[in-house]
Amino acid sequence: MTLRLSMKSALFGLSALALSASGALADQLSDIQAAGKIVAATEMHYAPFDMLEKGEYVGFDRDLFDEVAKELGVTPEYQDLPWTSILPGLEVDKFDFVLAPVTMTAERAERYAFTLPISDSTVAFVQRTGGDMETPEDAKGKTVGVQKGTAQQAQLEAYAETIGGIKIKEYGTPDEAYADLMTRRLDAVAGSAPLLDYLAKSRPEQFSVVKPPFGKPTYFAWVARQGEGDTLVAAINEALIKIQEDGRMAKIQEKWFGTATELPQEMPEL
């Protein structure tokens, strides 16, 4: 075989590989649409994004993704799983998509395909109403709860170093941390500002948010598997932009957060 023929064969092989890869990338979206359903996993203990009320799944994510599924022309099926099993479950194909709000970080972007932001996720503290924290810096030396394995935990740990130390306790769900806050086992709980604002708004006699939030501004998004999930994410992003532009996003935000917030229509810098 001549060098020219060898190079031609190699180029043909690369082209075939690229076409094969392109077809594989389209498989998840086309398979979902062919099946007529998309299976999405979340933890239904993350108010106001994901909650169980009388056994029924409700919340911001449910309302928003119902609209996205309409745009995709499929029926959504929702799974309730512990947060710590959701991202690993996505990687081993136990479901199609992660509906749990995931804080966008550069480290996670190396492993997962993020959608456009669905909400702000900057971190804040919540304390018992009447507590003595007036600013985030007042957390120094206090015992603070946070959900284990979250980006909020990482930001809390980083912030603790800057102010001289916080005793951090890890919890499986935010609800467990809130319960310990009320029984005075904790001085505060760290979490994303939208969740804590909703908590304080719903139960002002028990909880108050320490203003302002701390750490750098961050966003929540949904995620899919990298590679095969890229076309799925592209379709979901197109749906999210449409939902923002026609006013459905603002109505859902006002329902669950009490106010509408403009979100980026391009991927933010991580």
CATH assignment at residue 180:
3.40.190.10
In the chain, the amino acid numbered 55 is: G
**Number of folded domains that form the chain:** 2
Neighbours of 132 (CB within 10 A): 9
Q: Are 151 and 202 in a shared domain?
A: yes
Q: Which residue has the higher pLDDT, 197 or 184?
A: 184
Beta pairing, strands 167-171 & 143-147: parallel
Q: Are 134 and 197 in a shared domain?
A: yes
Give the residue-averaged pLDDT of 188-198.
Answer: 93
Q: Are 85 and 32 in a shared domain?
A: yes
Per the domain annotation, does 130 fall within a domain? Answer: yes
Residue 12 confidence class, pLDDT cut points 50, 70, 90: very low
Q: Which residues pair with 169 in a beta bridge?
A: 145
Neighbours of 242 (CB within 10 A): 14
Q: Are 85 and 202 in contact (CB under 8 A)?
A: no
Q: No. of H helices and E strands in the chain?
A: 9, 13
Q: Which residue has the higher pLDDT, 156 or 27?
A: 156
- pLDDT value at residue 237: 97
- For residue 15, pLDDT over 60 is answered with no
Q: Are 229 and 103 in a shared domain?
A: yes
Cα atoms in the Cβ-side hemisphere of radius 13 Å centred on 264: 15
Per the domain annotation, does 12 fall within a domain? Answer: no
Residue 151 confidence class, pLDDT cut points 50, 70, 90: confident
- For residue 57, pLDDT over 70 is answered with yes
Q: Are 233 and 208 in a shared domain?
A: no
Per the domain annotation, does 266 fall within a domain? Answer: no
- ∠214-219-222 over CA atoms, to 5°? 145
Give the residue-averaged pLDDT of 18-40.
Answer: 72
Task: Note down the domain range covering 247.
Answer: 21-120+219-257
Give the residue-averaged pLDDT of 85-112.
Answer: 95
> CB-based burial of residue 89 (10 Å sphere; 0-12 exposed, 13-18 middle, 19+ buried)?
middle
- pLDDT value at residue 261: 85
Q: Are 35 and 97 in a shared domain?
A: yes
In the chain, the amino acid numbered 229 is: G
